[in-house]
Structure formats: structure tokens, C-alpha cells
A and B are shown apart, each in its own frame.
Chain A
Amino acid sequence: MGIVFDIQTYAIYDGPGIRTCVFFKGCPLSCVWCHNPESQRLQPEMGYRADRCAGCGSCVEACPHDALVLEGDGVRRDTGRCVVCGLCEKVCRADAHEKIGYKTSAEAVVEKVIADRPFFTESSGGVTLTGGEPTVQREFLLETAGLLKKSEIHTALETCGHFGKELMPALIDTIDLFLYDIKHADADTHKRFTGVDNRVILENFVSIVRKAGPPRIIPRIPLIPGFNADGASLKGICRFLKEARYEGPVHLMPYNSMAKSKYEKLGRGVQYQNMGELSGDMIDGFVGLVRDNGFEAVINH
């Protein structure tokens, strides 16, 4: 069993063809710009949208753990008491509560995604396992990927690369395409902004390039203002890619500042950091820079 927080069909920017994305919950990194804060914690949690709440109090009444109190126009949740049973979501008429993440089996996930097989076949698409960081739920990930392989569905893994080496053989065996985040080549900067060292990440990358070959891995660079959206950082990443003997395209994923409401929904509004804007000209400049450093650059939104 594992914990998934969303399954989205007709994803057209997450690997080749038409894809269905399975979002795993939980991530070992804590990137300051994270645009999927609901994916960070492994356990299911409750989201709450103050803008929808009618302040009727029916959830407060219904909560068997007294975890909710009416406060002003809305409701405050005591996360210490809340056991994420989801009853408040069920009784709410305004859809203000939302349970994020649910327990499910690999079989159930595969049964759901397999419904889109005709779309995968026609478009040479498949399933993308993403998150969060799918490797956090290693058993569940391998089971899901194994079943997908058995069903002959092309499987991509979006990963931050921060996982133990012992996982590698099984991943190489079941994953058709690694969409692999390379955030920064400098260890200190990486640690400062993501909470972890990049050593394992870079080593794993090299290892996949060696064992699986370049067509099965694509490095993706999230372009984050104030972190890596600058010439020196990008050159550093390109240098690493060359050393790793990687010879394919590089995906650039420009930052957008739209995740604010997601943080607020989780009651973590204070954690949200706006990293700033990237202009079209700046993005064009980065594309040119990566190209000048010997890689084909593809903008991926």
C-alpha cells in the first residue's frame, strides 16, 4: 500500500505522448520554492480553503476529535488532535475541506491508469510517476512500476535523485524513462536551498547514464530566480552533465509563483516564498546559454 494524492490524466508536459501522472506523497527535500507543498509530507493531511468556507460550523460539530474550532469567519484546525479522518470534508457543503493523500494499493493505481491505454498507444505515451518524490515510498513504487511494466505501459519516473543506491537495479529494470531533476552543481548552495546535499543525486545520475544510457534519462533544471537562474549556476550544471558523459537534451522548467494558495490551503502560508519572476527574454537567454554549452535546451512548462 502507498499514499497518493492525485492521479491526473491527459498530462502533456511530463514525458513523451499523452500521460497519466500519479502523484506520490512525501519528499526528502524541502526546496524553498516548492510548488507542490501538498506533496512534501508522507502522511495524508487536511487542506482547508478559507475562501470557500461559509462558516456554518457543521464540521466543528461533526468532528469526533474536537480538532476544529470556529474562529472569525472560518475554522481553525488543531493538527495535534486531527487524525485526518476526512469527516469534515464529507459534511462540508462548501467544499472547503479537502483530504490530501489517500492510501491505495499498487493494483488499484494501475487499474485506474490502464483505462487510458488507447490514448497511450496512439500517442506513444504512458504513465509518469511523480510526486513528491516517488522513491520515498520504495516498496510501493517498485510494485507499481513492476505492474506497469507487466502491463507493457511506458513508465517515466520524475525524481529528485535523492535515493539509496540499493534501489538502482530495480529502477533500471522497471523504469523506461527517468525525468531527473538537477537543481544545482554546487553542494553548499544545493543544501542551503533544498535541505540536502547533492552528492547522492549527482552520483545516481552518473550511474543511470552509465547503466541505462542517455535516451532513458533526461535532466531537468528548474529555473529558480535567486537560486540557479544565472549563468554561473547553469554553466556549472552543464559542466557536470559533460563530465557525466550525458549527451541528450536538457529540459528547462521556468519557475512560476503560483503556489501561494496551495501553501495557504495547508495552513503553511508563512512558508511560502515568492522567488520572483522570469521574463521571456531571460528564459531565451538561458536556452542560448545551455545551447552554447553543448546541449539542446527544451523549455518545459
Chain B
Amino acid sequence: MDVHSETGERIGRLRHRYLDEVAVISIQRARYYTESWRETERSGLSNGERVALAMKNVYEKMDFFIDPDDRIAGAWTEHFLGIPIDVERGLFNDVFSVELKKRTMISHILKDNLRFIAYMIRKSGLSSLLRSLRETKAAGAAMPSIGTTTMSKRCVNPCTISRRDKRILLGDILGYWRGKTVVDILKKRLAEGKIFTGDMEGFSASLPSTTSRKDIVISLGAAMGVWQGHLILDHETPLKKGLLAIRQDVRKKIGQGGNTPEELGFLRSQEAALSGVVTFCERLKDYVQKAYEHENDPERKDILRVMAQNTASVPLMPAGNFREAVQSYWTVKTAVELALPFNVHAPGRLDQYFYPYYEKDIREGRITRDEARRLLEELLLKIMTHNMRPDSNYQGTFGQRYEGSEPVTLGGVTPRGDDATNELTYLIMEAAHRSKTALNIVVRIHQNCPKDLMLAVADLHYSGTSSISLMNDDISIAAMKKRGFSPADANNYAITGCVDMCAPGKTGGIGFSALLMARTLDITLRNGDAKTLVGFVRGVGLKTGDPDAFGSFNEFLDAYVLQAKNMIRLIVRASQIRDRLYAEMLPAPYISIFMRGCLDNKRDVTRAGAVYDLEGILFMNSIANVVDSLYVIKKLVFEKKAFGFGQLIDAVDHNFAGYEDIHRMITALDGKWGNGNRESDGLARELTTRLFEDTYRYKTFKGGPYAPFVNSMTSHTFDGRVSLATPDGRKAARPYAASCNPYNVDNRGLTGVLTSVAALDFTHVLGCAVNVRLHPSAVGETEEARKKYSSLIRTYFKLGGQQLQPTVASTEVLKCAQGQPEQYRDLIVKVGGYSAYFVDLGKEIQDEIISRSEHVKNG
């Protein structure tokens, strides 16, 4: 693989502008959506139809944008780099209300802190509050805060807004939605559903907090994502059939009659939504056509002519060639991402979808390999730009602009099980390398995949293209089958979100909740209460017994499992409430038209219309810290009787200050998870399998399975920041291990780490992120060495590993990048599950990545 040549000027320019320009918040979507929604308030239409019409109104009135460097037409907003907002869900409404002005930020912080202090004094008295504040300070921790820097001035992910738009947004638009959003109603429903136990509700209401409403802390051991939109649209049907033919199918269904009123309401929402997308396409076409007509420069006119031809025919009609296929995909994606921004609509298996067009064009001489690659480079960068959120500054030191998820899935097997690798598999990898896009590029590896594919991956890793991650087909396909996917759909899996498997185009929007593993351990140690750096909460868990009374380690382990299962049950109840709310309040007609099953079943995707449904339970923060803690308890408390539970809890409460002996014994304990130690690996497998298996008991509101995922995004840093020390020796306020990583306690190198990770039974898991940080020398300077790197990964997969996402960057390089960010602008790293530009990341998460074990060449 050619890894040396730089990309062309045009792509380089696009990348630099996407990286360096300040994003603009566009209110057009919010405004026209609200306008229509108000009009249909008393129309008697179903909510599905109202949503469809509201977005149609957006498509009819919005402005378009085209850049001289574009070859693929269609931007998310009227700006080169804009962010549209959906006000109806309300994920970021409070961010805008508060963080666009300094004044509102200061008053938010003041109010928040006063509320917190009042709560703490009421609950536990002034002296206890002061003690808790002292402890927090001693631990070097500070409660994260939104700070006082407004969105347009902040360093991480700045976004600006025009004066006029700000006035309209803060006044009319947000005013209308106050109390009406999904977020607002969800809070009430959760309280009515008695989701919050013990003092939980009062405590979380009192917490100085983020203004972002993406997640809700439902217990100290569990959190829930507010939206339910990780998915992959059905891109094959529009490519092959075109939107007009799809609309005909819908009309036929309406005409056939025999529909119940609900079904008819749904079908009408589909017709309206299709008309909405068609409107978007036609207005885009007109916009490009006009640009073409007004263009005088002959070279640019040629380019615009091709773009005008493409947009005139796709996606309304089937794609006829590679350029049209790419344009068709992008137009559909952009329209739907505008209807549901921030959802994470991954592209799916692009090498499979595009290959027939590419192959034909190459054969008939209509396109060259390089031309196709440049178009793919542009596409990958553009997909990345759909992956930014107008998030709270609270995320600042933990965040970044592009959450490089929306993975592209490559390679693997066909639905029939044959090798699916083709020329585009390699070309897209090359495009990822050259464009330096911060996306996840997932390469599926199976037993019969070409040896060249693994070597190509090794070449790219050596060159520092850390966007590329690897999936093990054998384990992954087995896992899909266990969760009810048909053999063909299991074979056809693709990745969405960060690392989440699904049947592309057939799996309704996945929602996510999280089991907070270490916090659940804390709850077990405190017999149902929980302690954090920001306060003590009674009764958030079960009364599983005073730890001192446990006669054996297994009894203690059982208690932990019981507490964790209780959190899983809570997650199930909460997510069912959330999903019911979406079905009632906010159907998703724009997803339903691109989701197989919905039309046949005549049901919206929020009402189980899709062929499959799925809800994810993230096992986070973290398996490593909990396994190591349990191992410490097993060896030192029960076997060696070096100290008792009482001392251990005291040590944890005091962040090991005054308990240095205990801390030393803990850190000196050999064989923690990550060293290929049979005992701790066995413990990790037993613990996780018991919890993974528990998830089979439940069905989602839509009748799909709950499946475990192991990914922490960036939560391991900010959850760590407010957490006490853990029995594995991790100090208070320090990050937890990221995702499925061991906690940098390995002393047996890469093979030990991989052996330990592979000890988990991943056939229960529908996605995990295993981060290892490699010095390039560990990948290999020579081809011979890279073959060994391939063998390393193959062995790990044979042992049962599911996923691997190396960050190939030395500690030295990362430290330099911290010092001189401008020189390392496109250095990509893996955070929890996704790719990101290192220099875009907040300091705290940068430090966490640097602190990960670096594996260098040995010998």
C-alpha cells in the first residue's frame, strides 16, 4: 500500500478548514421545524406526520451552500462548517440558554453551587459538607464546571452564532420548547416510574452539572443516554432503486387499503417524509444548477456541470455510476442527519455498496483509481463533519470537536459467508490514510481474508494511521447470532456508534445506557449506599450485607453481581420508559423510510418497525478497575488476610493517605488483569459472563434484546474525576481504565495484555473497544516484522479477542504534540471507542492517553 504520498492540495485544504475553522450554529432547522410544529398543533395529525411535515418545511425553506473545493454537493447547513440543531429533543437546549452568554454562565454556576450546598447541608450538616470539600481538595479533584468562557471563545470545540440568530434562538425558539422537549418530559416520566431510589433524585438535582442533557444519571451506578439513534440507514435501496420508486411503494401501500388508522398515519408520515427528502434533493439540484449557470471560470464550470448532472439524477433515480453512487449516498445521509442531528448514522459497508459502480466505471474507463480515491477522501472528511455536537463546555477538558465515530466498515464476509474484500476495501483504507479523517475505519478480519489485507493494515498502523481498527468476524458473527440476528444478517454486520455491531439498514435506532462498574463496587462495599467526591448518597443500591460479614470471597463476588444486576434492571426499566416516550412523542419518519421492515410492518422505527431492534448496556469505568479490585480483595483480604474490609474502605475514603502500607501492598500485588495471569483472567471472565448473561433476560420496549457493549467514550476521565479511590490502588479523581483496556498494570507486554482481554467471552458482546498504544517500532520497520504484527493480531483473535484499535504514537510524539499542537494538527488517536485529533482533545483526556502503557519493540 502506498503510504508515503501526501494527499492532493484540494483535500488538504478541505481538511485544514474543517480542522481549524470555527463552526457556525445554524438555527434554520430549529426555526422552520418549530414554525411548522406550531402550525400543526391543532391539526389532529399524528405526531409522525407532524414530524415529517415539520422537516419538510425545513427542506423547503433552508439555504444551501457549496464550496469551490466540493466535488460532492450538499452541506449540513447554509455554512461551510455549520451545526444544525434539533430543539424538539432538547439535548442541547440548556447549553444554548446558558453558554452563549457570560452572564448566564455565571448565574448558572452560582445557582448550581448554592443548590448543591443547600442540599448537602440539609442532608448531612455543615461540618460534613466542609469535610467532603476538604477531602475533594486533598484528592486534587475539582468538580467539573462549565466555566465562564462562552461557546464561541472556548478552546475545545468552539462554535459561534450570529447576533440575530442568537436573539431568535434564545427568545422565540427555545421559549416555545421550554417544558415541551423529550428531555423535559422524560425527567418527569422517570420520576413517576420510581426510577430514582434512595436520595438519588434530590442528589442529582443538586449536583453542579453540565448543561448538556445527552445523558441522565439514573443511579450512582447507572446512567442512560437520552436519545436512541445509533444506527445505519439502508443505503443500498436508494442506490439501487431511487427515492421516487420508494415513494411509489409507499403510495401503493396506502392505495391498497385495509390499513388501521395507526398504520395509515404511519404510511402518510412516510409519504410526507419522502416528499420532504425529495424536496431537499430538488432544491439542492436547483442550487447546483444555478451555480453552474452563473459560473464563468471554464475549469470550475466543468466541475459544476458534473455535480449538476449528478444531483439531477440521484438519489431520486438509481445511481448509474460511481460518482452518482457517492453523491446519492451523501445526499440521503445529509438530509436524514438534518432531520436527526447528533444521532450517529454510520455509513455501513461502503466497500460493498459502492463496489459494483466502481468496478463498472473502472472497466469502462469512466474513472481512474486516483479520481475515485480523491472522491472517497472528500467523502470521509465530510462524514466526519456530521460528527460534532454543540456540547457543553463542561465537556471541555474531556472533549473534542469531532467525535470521530460514524465508522466505515470494510472487508469481512458477504451475507453468504464468502470473503468480501475487494479493491475498494484497500482504496477506502488508503483514502482514510491520506485524508487523515478522524473517523473509525473498521476492517473486519476473518479466517479466509487475504493476507495482504492484514499487511495493508500493518503498513497503515506503522505510518500512524490510528483511525483503523480491527474486528474479529468469528467472534462477532457468533455474538450477532446469539442476539437473534439471522445467519445472513449476522454475516453482514457493520459498525455504528463507536464500536457497535448491527445489521445495517435493518436495526432500529440503538439507545445506550451504562452500568458504572467501579461505582457499583463502591455501593457493594457500603452495603447499598454510595460515596463520591461530591457527596454521599444513601440507598442507591441493594442491602447486600456488611462486607465484614462475608465468609468468603465468593460471597462478596455474589454481592457485587447482585448489585450490578440490580443496576441492569434499573437500566431496563428506565430505557423502556424512554423508548415508550419516543414512540408517543417523537416518531422518526425520516429514519423509517430508510429502515427495512418499517414499510412491511407499517410501523415507525420507534414502534418496532425495523427488522431488528437493540438496546446497548455499556460496561464502563471499568472492567479493569473492578477486576483488579476484586483480585486485590480476594488475595489480600481473604487469602493473605493482610487487611480487612474496614481498613480497605478507610484507605479508599482517605485516598490512601495514612494508608501507604496498604497502597504499597496493593500495587505490589502481581498478576492483575492484563498480564495473562490465569487467576485474574478467570475472575474477569467469570464476573463479566455472569453479568453479560443476565442481559438475555430482558426485552426492550420494542421487543429487541439488551446487549452488552464495552466502551467508555471519554467518560472514564470525567467519571473518574468525581470518584473516590478504588481498591485496586487507583487514586481518587484519576481516570478509570478506558473502555475494555487493562489499567496499565501490565508487565508482560502486549501479549499479556491481549491474552487477558481475550479471556472475556465476547460472544455475548456486540461491541467493545480495546485500546493499545504502540510505538511504531512495535508494528515493525520491516515487512518481516509486520508479518509478525499480523500474527500477533491473528493469535489474539484466535484466543477469542473481538476488537483491537491501536493508537500508534509514541509517548515522545504525544508530548511534543501537547507542546506544539500546530505541528501535529492531524495526529489521530483512539480515545474510548472513537478516533479523534489528539490536539483537539482536552488536556485531561490527552494526559490519559499518554499515561496508557506504551508498547515498544522488544529484544
Judged by a CB distance under 8 angstroms, whether A119 is at the interface is yes
- Check if B859 sits within 8 Å of A13, measured CB to CB: yes
- Check if B859 sits within 8 Å of A116, measured CB to CB: no
Q: Assuming the A-B contacts A119-B791, A122-B794, A123-B792, are A14 and B751 also in contact, with contact meaning beta carbons closer than 8 angstroms in the complex?
A: no
Judged by a CB distance under 8 angstroms, whether B749 is at the interface is yes
Encode B739-752 as 1/0 by CB contact (under 8 A) with A: 00000000011111
Judged by a CB distance under 8 angstroms, whether B36 is at the interface is no
Chain A residues closer than 8 Å to B752, beta-carbon distance: 9, 115
Name the one of B777, B778, B795, B858 contacting A119, with C-beta atoms under 8 angstroms: B795
Chain B residues close to A by CB (< 8 Å): 664, 668, 676, 748-752, 755, 777-778, 780-782, 785, 787-789, 791-792, 794-795, 798-799, 855, 857-859
Encode A105-139 as 1/0 by CB contact (under 8 A) with B: 00000000001101101110100101000000000
Q: Assuming the A-B contacts A9-B752, A301-B781, are A21 and B792 also in contact, with contact meaning beta carbons closer than 8 angstroms in the complex?
A: no
- Check if A119 sits within 8 Å of B859, measured CB to CB: no
Name the one of A8, A9, A13, A118 contacting B785, with C-beta atoms under 8 angstroms: A13
Judged by a CB distance under 8 angstroms, whether A10 is at the interface is yes
Q: Assuming the A-B contacts A115-B755, A119-B795, are A125 and B859 also in contact, with contact meaning beta carbons closer than 8 angstroms in the complex?
A: no
- Check if A9 sits within 8 Å of B792, measured CB to CB: no
Chain B, residue nearest A21 (CB): B859
- How far in angstroms is the closest Cβ of chain A from B454? 12
- How far in angstroms is the closest Cβ of chain B from A118? 5
- Check if B795 sits within 8 Å of A12, measured CB to CB: no
Give the complex CA separation of A118 and B795 in angstroms.
Answer: 6
Most chain B beta-carbon contacts within 10 A, residue among A9, A13, A115, A130: A9
- Would you call the interface of chain A mostly helix, strand, loop, or mixed? mixed
CB-defined A-B contacts under 8 Å, sample of 5: A11-B857, A13-B859, A19-B859, A90-B664, A115-B751
Give the complex CA separation of A90 and B663 in angstroms.
Answer: 12
Q: Assuming the A-B contacts A8-B749, A119-B751, A301-B781, are A14 and B792 also in contact, with contact meaning beta carbons closer than 8 angstroms in the complex?
A: no
- Check if B791 sits within 8 Å of A123, measured CB to CB: yes
Judged by a CB distance under 8 angstroms, whether A17 is at the interface is yes
Give the complex CA separation of A130 and B859 in angstroms.
Answer: 9
Chain B residues closer than 8 Å to A115, beta-carbon distance: 676, 748, 751-752, 755
Most chain A beta-carbon contacts within 10 A, residue among B748, B755, B781: B748
- Check if A9 sits within 8 Å of B791, measured CB to CB: no
Give the complex CA separation of A301 and B782 in angstroms.
Answer: 10
Give the complex CA separation of A110 and B321 in angstroms.
Answer: 60
Chain B, residue nearest A13 (CB): B859
Judged by a CB distance under 8 angstroms, whether A145 is at the interface is no
Interface magnitude class on chain A: 20 to 34
- How far in angstroms is the closest Cβ of chain B from A77? 22
Chain A residues closer than 8 Å to B781, beta-carbon distance: 301
Chain A, residue nearest B777 (CB): A301
Give the complex CA separation of A14 and B857 in angstroms.
Answer: 11
- Check if B798 sits within 8 Å of A125, measured CB to CB: no
- How far in angstroms is the closest Cβ of chain B from A39? 13
Chain B, residue nearest A117 (CB): B795
- Check if A125 sits within 8 Å of B788, measured CB to CB: yes
- How far in angstroms is the closest Cβ of chain B from A261? 15
Chain A residues closer than 8 Å to B858, beta-carbon distance: 8-14, 21
Q: Assuming the A-B contacts A21-B858, A115-B755, are A10 and B791 also in contact, with contact meaning beta carbons closer than 8 angstroms in the complex?
A: no
Give the complex CA separation of A121 and B789 in angstroms.
Answer: 14
Chain A residues close to B by CB (< 8 Å): 8-14, 17-21, 90, 115-116, 118-119, 121-123, 125, 128, 130, 299, 301
Give the complex CA separation of A35 and B522 in angstroms.
Answer: 48
Chain B, residue nearest A23 (CB): B859
Give the complex CA separation of A125 and B788 in angstroms.
Answer: 9
Give the complex CA separation of A10 and B749 in angstroms.
Answer: 7
- How far in angstroms is the closest Cβ of chain A from B659? 14
Give the complex CA separation of A13 and B798 in angstroms.
Answer: 23
Q: Assuming the A-B contacts A119-B791, A123-B791, are A10 and B798 also in contact, with contact meaning beta carbons closer than 8 angstroms in the complex?
A: no
- Check if A13 sits within 8 Å of B791, measured CB to CB: no
- How far in angstroms is the closest Cβ of chain A from B680? 13
Chain B residues closer than 8 Å to A299, beta-carbon distance: 782
- Check if B792 sits within 8 Å of A118, measured CB to CB: no
- Check if A9 sits within 8 Å of B749, measured CB to CB: yes
Chain B residues closer than 8 Å to A9, beta-carbon distance: 748-752, 858
Chain B residues closer than 8 Å to A130, beta-carbon distance: 859
Most chain B beta-carbon contacts within 10 A, residue among A18, A19, A21: A18
Chain A, residue nearest B755 (CB): A115
Q: Assuming the A-B contacts A18-B751, A123-B788, are A12 and B859 also in contact, with contact meaning beta carbons closer than 8 angstroms in the complex?
A: yes
Chain B, residue nearest A122 (CB): B795
Name the one of A8, A21, A122 contacting B791, with C-beta atoms under 8 angstroms: A122
- How far in angstroms is the closest Cβ of chain A from B35? 61
Chain A, residue nearest B786 (CB): A12
Chain B, residue nearest A121 (CB): B795
- Check if B798 sits within 8 Å of A18, measured CB to CB: no
Chain B residues closer than 8 Å to A13, beta-carbon distance: 785, 857-859
20 further interface pairs, Cβ-Cβ under 8 Å (given A121-B795, A123-B795)? A8-B859, A9-B748, A9-B749, A10-B750, A10-B778, A11-B858, A12-B780, A13-B785, A13-B857, A17-B788, A17-B791, A18-B751, A18-B792, A115-B755, A119-B751, A119-B795, A122-B798, A123-B791, A123-B792, A301-B857
Chain A residues closer than 8 Å to B789, beta-carbon distance: 12
Name the one of B751, B782, B787, B855 contacting A116, with C-beta atoms under 8 angstroms: B751
Chain A residues closer than 8 Å to B782, beta-carbon distance: 299
Chain B residues closer than 8 Å to A12, beta-carbon distance: 778, 780, 785, 788-789, 857-859
Chain A, residue nearest B675 (CB): A115
Give the complex CA separation of A118 and B754 in angstroms.
Answer: 11
Chain A residues closer than 8 Å to B750, beta-carbon distance: 9-10
- How far in angstroms is the closest Cβ of chain B from A109? 13
Chain B residues closer than 8 Å to A122, beta-carbon distance: 791, 794-795, 798
Give the complex CA separation of A33 and B792 in angstroms.
Answer: 33
- How far in angstroms is the closest Cβ of chain A from B168? 58
- How far in angstroms is the closest Cβ of chain B from A153? 14
Chain B residues closer than 8 Å to A123, beta-carbon distance: 787-788, 791-792, 795
Most chain A beta-carbon contacts within 10 A, residue among B755, B788, B798: B788
Sorted nearest first, the 7 A-B pairs with minimum C-beta distance are A11-B859, A123-B791, A14-B859, A9-B749, A11-B858, A122-B795, A8-B858
- Check if A119 sits within 8 Å of B857, measured CB to CB: no
- Check if A119 sits within 8 Å of B676, measured CB to CB: no
Give the complex CA separation of A98 and B368 in angstroms.
Answer: 59
Give the complex CA separation of A21 and B676 in angstroms.
Answer: 17
Give the complex CA separation of A19 and B788 in angstroms.
Answer: 10
Chain B, residue nearest A116 (CB): B751
Give the complex CA separation of A171 and B668 in angstroms.
Answer: 38
Name the one of B668, B787, B855 contacting A10, with C-beta atoms under 8 angstroms: B855
Give the complex CA separation of A18 and B676 in angstroms.
Answer: 16
- How far in angstroms is the closest Cβ of chain A from B336? 43
Chain A, residue nearest B785 (CB): A12
Give the complex CA separation of A122 and B789 in angstroms.
Answer: 11
- Check if A118 sits within 8 Å of B799, measured CB to CB: yes
Most chain B beta-carbon contacts within 10 A, residue among A14, A18, A119, A128: A119
Give the complex CA separation of A19 and B792 in angstroms.
Answer: 11
- How far in angstroms is the closest Cβ of chain A from B380? 31
Give the complex CA separation of A201 and B53 in angstroms.
Answer: 87
- How far in angstroms is the closest Cβ of chain A from B799? 6
Give the complex CA separation of A301 and B798 in angstroms.
Answer: 29
Give the complex CA separation of A128 and B791 in angstroms.
Answer: 18
Chain A residues closer than 8 Å to B795, beta-carbon distance: 18, 118-119, 121-123
- Check if A118 sits within 8 Å of B798, measured CB to CB: yes
- How far in angstroms is the closest Cβ of chain A from B760? 16
Chain A, residue nearest B789 (CB): A12
Chain A residues closer than 8 Å to B668, beta-carbon distance: 90
Give the complex CA separation of A21 and B777 in angstroms.
Answer: 17
- How far in angstroms is the closest Cβ of chain B from A137? 20
Give the complex CA separation of A260 and B780 in angstroms.
Answer: 24
Give the complex CA separation of A182 and B7 in angstroms.
Answer: 46
Give the complex CA separation of A152 and B799 in angstroms.
Answer: 20
Most chain B beta-carbon contacts within 10 A, residue among A21, A116, A121, A128: A116
Give the complex CA separation of A98 and B858 in angstroms.
Answer: 19
